[in-house]
Chains A and B, each alone.
Chain A
Amino acid sequence: MQKLNDHEKMALEKIAVQNRKNVLRLMKAGRMGHIGGALSAIDIITALYFKIMRVDPQNSDWPQRDRFVLSAGHKCLALYATLAEKGFFSHEVLDTYGALGSKLGGHPDMHKVPGVETNTGALGHGLSIAGGMAMGLKMDSLDARVYVMMGDGELAEGSNWEAAAAASHHRLDNLLVFVDRNHLQISGPTVDVMNYEPLDKRWQAFGWGVREIDGHDLKQIVVNATDIPFEKGKPSVILADTVKSKGLSFAEDKVGFHYWKASDEDLAIAERELDEIEEGIK
């Protein structure tokens, strides 16, 4: 288990703001994208890459590396932003988002983007793939871990529950799932569109160790994610309560910002808000 002191927390918060700025840079280039889920997940993704995971940007195929699977592939703006900040590719690549032939598409492509582990986009694929990775690492007695980011709306895909059962059955305790529970999906509140609550009991019933945290609290993220398995021999899941579009006050918790077509004025306001957040970190 790893605990962040206040100094470390502040440093990580600054990186999280910078990653949000990177997301805006992507938006500035592409003008449209899945902003809401990217900004609800970005604190977790930031903590994973800067405090939790064992990765080497200079050697992205290193066999002993930890893996990150973005099952909810539409949150890719957060992943691109973080990978650039971590040094997997230059920040200039962010400016190509949305252009013909860019490496950075609206969903991630492992063959184009260094550091991306899987081609996701269609929901309900990532957990099975991650389970296979975790299984393969165990077969080779490697101590690497596999981290997965899923959306709460995504959990309606039945394939996830096949994977959840198999991961538990095969005792994949090197697997940690984050459910980015921002409570919204494209057409409304997740509990109204298709209710899978209570998520804690569902995951427990599938044989997982479960914890619930504030998905924007970096201390909570790090202390829990570095404490797996939560239960011996079981895969672990963190139900992270988050706010869609977190960091942009005009967009927070608003269904309409699942996918954002940003104007110059919007982007200017967003930039000012992030500057204010950055100045407030102390």
Chain B
Amino acid sequence: MDDLRDPRKTLGEALVAAAEKNKNIVAISADSSSGSGLTPFHERFPERHIEFGIMEQGVIGFSAGLATTGKIPFAVAIAPFVTSRPFEMFRNDLGYMRQNVKVVGRCAGLTYSDLGATHQSLDDIAIIRTIPGVTVINPGDPVDIVKAVHAAAAHVGPVYIKLGSPKMPVLMDEDYPFQIGKGVVMQEGNDVTLIGTGTVLSKAVEATRILKEKGFHPRLINMHTIKPLDRELVLKAAAQTGKIVTVEEGYLAGGLGSCVAELIATEQPVPMKMIGIDDQYCDTGPYEELLAQYGLQGEQIADTVEQFLA
């Protein structure tokens, strides 16, 4: 937990590495390319970085057109502006047209904590996962980010990758086998399963540690892929631990918790608790304090789980 890395810098470096291997990869930005971590890419492959300015509908459409010619565009921009704003382009031009475009929404969740509800992206997973054929990845740590970029580049089809902006602790082994659609058991346990994703995976890790200290035996899963959901892993956890808690930095409506609930309600009903943001526009303030306001700090998650188990 002490090795902290910048997610956008990590993204940019991974994208350069992927582009070294695959000449079809191009980077697309909608202004603020340096804020999207694309400076190293621009320096290494200036002719493969295409700037569009602030036109996210255009960015998605152009990316789709580029993909028809064999390019693999990675379009990186502030999360709500490449998801909710051009949603119809995402659905029709990438989803319906099945184009090989990777959209990276950065500074997602509450990480634009000071900029308010227009910039906080809490609905991106909920809306993008409704699009048939789109893969949705929410990396839990910097290792996941690197692996997600390479996996997305190798995967043929539209992918959405959600990133935060504050530095993230390294939680995963550098050489672990990342596979799209396969969650990772980080801690075995048998009395409850915590399923964490994305920026708050580290909070779920902390909660797991606290719960263990208190004598519980929680299982912890890193669900880095929201869609396709690792059904087998979730159903096994439901059957073996009997209770499930999901942890995410996003709206409960339509997010990871919803995905898991949709599955277990029909296939393996067990008691469940969903931790995330309920139906509201969030306040502004320092990021960690904002997380605490919505019960997303490790100790708070541990308390919630303890009450749930009581």
Task: Check if A and B associate.
Answer: yes
A161 to chain B, nearest CB (A): 9
Please provide the chain A residues from 129 to 178 with a CB less than 8 Å away from any CB of chain B in the complex: 129-137, 139-140, 158-159, 162-163, 165-166, 169-170
What's the Cα separation between A244 and B57 when bound, in Å?
A: 30
Say whether B305 faces chain A, with CB atoms less than 8 Å apart: no
The answer to whether B66 touches A118 (Cβ under 8 A) is no
Say whether B123 faces chain A, with CB atoms less than 8 Å apart: no
The answer to whether A133 touches B65 (Cβ under 8 A) is yes
Of the candidates B47, B48, B63, B64, the one having the most CB atoms from chain A within 10 angstroms of its own CB is B64
The answer to whether A134 touches B65 (Cβ under 8 A) is yes
Say whether B309 faces chain A, with CB atoms less than 8 Å apart: no
Residues from chain B with Cβ under 8 Å of A226 in the complex = none
Say whether B55 faces chain A, with CB atoms less than 8 Å apart: yes
Query: For this complex, into which size category does the number of interface residues on chain A fall?
Result: 20 to 34
Grouping DSSP codes into helix (H, G, I), strand (E, B) and loop, the B interface class, with mixed when no group exceeds half, is helix
The answer to whether A111 touches B98 (Cβ under 8 A) is yes
The answer to whether B71 touches A136 (Cβ under 8 A) is yes
Of the candidates B53, B66, B70, the one having the most CB atoms from chain A within 10 angstroms of its own CB is B66
Residues from chain B with Cβ under 8 Å of A132 in the complex = 61-69, 73
Grouping DSSP codes into helix (H, G, I), strand (E, B) and loop, the A interface class, with mixed when no group exceeds half, is helix
The answer to whether A130 touches B65 (Cβ under 8 A) is yes
Say whether B46 faces chain A, with CB atoms less than 8 Å apart: no
What's the Cα separation between A159 and B71 when bound, in Å?
A: 22
Say whether B60 faces chain A, with CB atoms less than 8 Å apart: yes
The answer to whether A128 touches B58 (Cβ under 8 A) is yes
Say whether A281 faces chain B, with CB atoms less than 8 Å apart: no
Residues from chain B with Cβ under 8 Å of A120 in the complex = 92
Say whether A117 faces chain B, with CB atoms less than 8 Å apart: yes
- Chain B, 64-91, contact with A by CB distance < 8 Å: what is the 0/1 string? 1111111101000000000000001100
B101 nearest CB neighbor, chain A only: A132
Say whether A119 faces chain B, with CB atoms less than 8 Å apart: yes
B26 nearest CB neighbor, chain A only: A139
A40 to chain B, nearest CB (A): 24
The answer to whether A166 touches B69 (Cβ under 8 A) is no
- Chain B, 96-108, contact with A by CB distance < 8 Å: what is the 0/1 string? 1110000000000
Answer whether A133 and B61 are a contact pair too, CB < 8 Å, given A122-B92, A166-B55.
Answer: no
Please provide the chain A residues from 109 to 127 with a CB less than 8 Å away from any CB of chain B in the complex: 110-111, 117-122, 124-125, 127
Residues from chain A with Cβ under 8 Å of B281 in the complex = none
A110 nearest CB neighbor, chain B only: B97
Say whether B253 faces chain A, with CB atoms less than 8 Å apart: no
A158 nearest CB neighbor, chain B only: B57
The answer to whether B89 touches A125 (Cβ under 8 A) is yes
B173 to chain A, nearest CB (A): 38
What's the Cα separation between A140 and B47 when bound, in Å?
A: 11
Residues from chain A with Cβ under 8 Å of B26 in the complex = 139
B25 to chain A, nearest CB (A): 12
The answer to whether B57 touches A128 (Cβ under 8 A) is yes
The answer to whether A133 touches B66 (Cβ under 8 A) is yes
What's the Cα separation between A111 and B132 when bound, in Å?
A: 15
A144 nearest CB neighbor, chain B only: B69
What's the Cα separation between A166 and B66 when bound, in Å?
A: 13
20 A–B pairs (Cβ distance < 8 Å), ordered by A:
A121-B92, A125-B89, A125-B92, A125-B93, A128-B57, A128-B60, A128-B89, A129-B62, A129-B64, A129-B65, A132-B64, A133-B65, A134-B65, A136-B65, A140-B69, A159-B61, A162-B57, A163-B58, A166-B52, A170-B50
Which A-B residue pairs are the 7 nearest by beta carbons?
A132-B65, A128-B61, A136-B69, A162-B58, A132-B62, A162-B55, A133-B65
